Amino acid sequence: MRHTLQIAPQFYVTAPQECPYLDGRKERKLFTALQGDNAEELNNALSKQGFRRSQNVLYRPSCAECTACMSARISVDRFVPSKSQKRTDRRNAYLTRRTSSPWATEEQYDLFRRYLESRHAMGGMADMDVFEFANMIEETPIRTRVIEYFDRETQELVAVCLTDILDDGVSMVYSFFDPELAGNSLGTFVILDHIRIAQENDLPFVYLGYWVPGSQKMGYKSRFSGIEIYRRNAWEPLDPVEAEQDFVHPLASDPISEQVANIRLPGARPVR
């Protein structure tokens, strides 16, 4: 199934498949290729409209009967760390950050495998081999960095985040960490450090991926102050109760053709 705007790029929709977040539901994605001379500009524009990058593809959930998956970002100016988050920062003060170009290493892959086996053994990435992992890290047509976190004394790698640099923020494409250090709340720490990265570079947002009410995998994102979600074609402060009531409404999901028509491309008005 394909829907085409009057100007490039072309948008496609996947066939329904089992939802990885909510039992008994089907997921469907709207996606387009990320390539060519204007890849950076397209990624910036569509990231602001709830799309996410996976290698050279931009995608957004487009389920027929559910709007639970909502793109989430933190407004850096509105973020105030909680007492728990301050403790997490102090607990991980022994870590040092290193930033590099998107290049995969064996050390990263070993950590990635241990993370998957502990946290997502039945997930879609469970069978990813070293070559597929390298493609995930290295296949990017835009400005991307690998953010690594090492134990300052032992130089052991304990966490990694693949991060895109947008014109209005940093986008956390994928992160993983040492499962044996679960008590350190490394996932939370990596987000907190990305808030610092955004502050250091005068960028207003940290894009976190999707928040899914009712999903234990994604619920942690609502614990960050300054969180915003993208719905009804606009960013708004997260109200968890209102958002959860809205996504099950039978008329919440717009037809694919209308969703495509409302996409704002770089330098163009929505095509209707």
DSSP for 163-177 reads EEE-SSEEEEEEEEE
CA atoms of 249 and 260, how far apart (whole Å): 21
Asked whether residue 241 is domain-assigned, the answer is no
Per-residue pLDDT reduced to its tens digit, 107-159? 999 999 999 988 765 556 768 899 999 999 999 999 999 999 999 999 999 99
Asked whether residue 154 is domain-assigned, the answer is yes
What is the model's pLDDT at position 270?
46
CB neighbours of residue 155 within 10 Å: 8
Asked whether residue 191 is domain-assigned, the answer is yes
Q: Percentage of residues in the chain with pLDDT exceeding 90?
A: 65
What is the model's pLDDT at position 165?
98
Give yes or no for a contact between 168 and 186, defined as CB atoms under 8 angstroms apart: no
Range of the domain at 155: 76-207
CATH of the domain at 196: 3.40.630.30
Asked whether residue 56 is domain-assigned, the answer is no
Asked whether residue 93 is domain-assigned, the answer is yes
Mean predicted lDDT score pLDDT of the chain: 88
Asked whether residue 22 is domain-assigned, the answer is no
Please give the distance of CA 111 from its chain centroid, rounded to a whole number: 20
pTM of structure: 0.90
Region for residue 14 given its phi and psi (left: phi exceeds 0; alpha: psi -120 to 50; beta: otherwise): beta
Asked whether residue 36 is domain-assigned, the answer is no
Please give the distance of CA 89 from its chain centroid, rounded to a whole number: 22
Q: What average pLDDT does this structure show over 205-229?
A: 85
Q: Residue 66: which residues within 8 A CB-CB, separation 6 or more? A: 19, 22, 25, 247, 248, 252, 253
Return the higher-pLDDT residue of 237 and 218: 237
Q: Specify the number of domains making up the chain.
A: 1
Asked whether residue 81 is domain-assigned, the answer is yes
